[in-house]
Amino acid sequence: MKRPETQKSNGILILVRSPLDPARITLLKKMLQNPGNSAVFLHPSVGGKPFGEKNVFRLGEKIPDQDGRIFSWQDLYALIRLHQRILTLS
């Protein structure tokens, strides 16, 4: 039996591992202007100023518009499977 193709994103998944300097924050904001791109902050201290985009997530924090559901490692793995390209900022 053939498995159905899962829909892949043409965007980039950006994993943010450590606090960013102003130049990297600017780069991240520009990258997030593309609605296909998503960012995940991997540590609570990372991120500084909040990003208002709906495609920005933080591990262990509530997901907007999800009735208080917390973004987990399982959600991150689902995003990794969805995106064909992954960029790590640190």
pLDDT in tens, 40-61: 998 877 765 567 667 888 888 8
Q: Which two tokens stand for residue 5?
A: 């193709």
* Structural domain includes residue 14: yes
What mean pLDDT comes out for the span 28-46?
Answer: 87
Phi, psi of 45 (to 5 degrees): -75, -10
* Structural domain includes residue 89: no
10 Å Cβ neighbour count for 19?
14
* Structural domain includes residue 27: yes
* Structural domain includes residue 25: yes
pLDDT score for 4: 43
pLDDT score for 53: 66
pLDDT score for 62: 84
* Structural domain includes residue 53: yes
Give me the domain span that covers residue 21.
10-83
* Structural domain includes residue 5: no
- With cut-offs at 50, 70 and 90, classify the pLDDT of residue 3: very low
Q: How many domains does the chain have?
A: 1
d(CA 34, CA 59): 22
* Structural domain includes residue 2: no
SS3 23: helix
Q: Are 29 and 40 in contact (CB under 8 A)?
A: no
